[in-house]
């Protein structure tokens, strides 16, 4: 089954404690993204990657890091989380051909105290 998985699904942490949210896809897609979703603001792209070792900033990259060492994995790293990073995070994987379909993971709800 084609899917995007994220872990953890829920996380409560404290300010300044480094954390990583993992993302993995099994569709051999080259393009992967991270989004955050906040009420009234829709989905905002944090970082994206067009291929292994190729990453670029989206609309709201401040406070986040990513890496793309393998095609299937695209972890999101918060080196020093702050309360304003409390949000719902989605990883997505995109078939950049034809209908440009983007497949989303189930989401990670992060609370930073």
Partner 1 sequence: GQSLEQPSEVTAVEGAIVQINCTYQTSGFYGLSWYQQHDGGAPTFLSYNALDGLEETGRFSSFLSRSDSYGYLLLQELQMKDSASYFCAVRWVSGGGADGLTFGKGTHLIIQP
Q: Containing H/E element for 88?
A: strand 87-94
Residues 4-43 touching partner 1, rule: CB under 8 A, are 31, 33, 35, 40-43
| Residues numbered 74-113 forming contacts with partner 1, rule: CB under 8 A | 90, 94, 96, 99-107
Nearer to partner 1, 64 or 90 (CB): 90
At its nearest, how many Å lie between partner 1 and the CB of residue 66? 14
Contact between 45 and partner 1 (CB under 8 A)? yes
Nearest to 45 by CA among 100, 3, 102: 102
Q: DSSP string of 40-85? A: TTEEEEEEEEEETTEEEE-S--TT-EE--SSSSB--EEESS--GGG
The number of residues that bind partner 1 (CB under 8 A) is 26
CA neighbor of 89 nearest in space, from 26, 44, 28: 44
Interface residues with partner 1 (CB under 8 A) are 31, 33, 35, 40-45, 48, 50, 56, 58-59, 90, 94, 96, 99-107
């Amino acid at each position: 089954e084609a899917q995007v998985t994220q872990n953890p699904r829920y996380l409560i942490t404290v300010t300044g404690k480094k954390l990583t949210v993992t993302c993995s896809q099994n569709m051999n897609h080259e393009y992967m993204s991270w989004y955050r979703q906040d009420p009234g603001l829709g989905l905002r792209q944090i970082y994206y990657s067009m291929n292994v070792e190729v990453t670029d900033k989206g609309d709201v990259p401040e406070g986040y890091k990513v890496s793309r060492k393998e095609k299937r994995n695209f972890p999101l790293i918060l080196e020093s989380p702050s309360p304003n990073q409390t949000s719902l995070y989605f990883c997505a994987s995109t078939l950049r051909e034809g209908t440009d379909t983007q497949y989303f993971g189930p989401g990670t709800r992060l609370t930073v105290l």
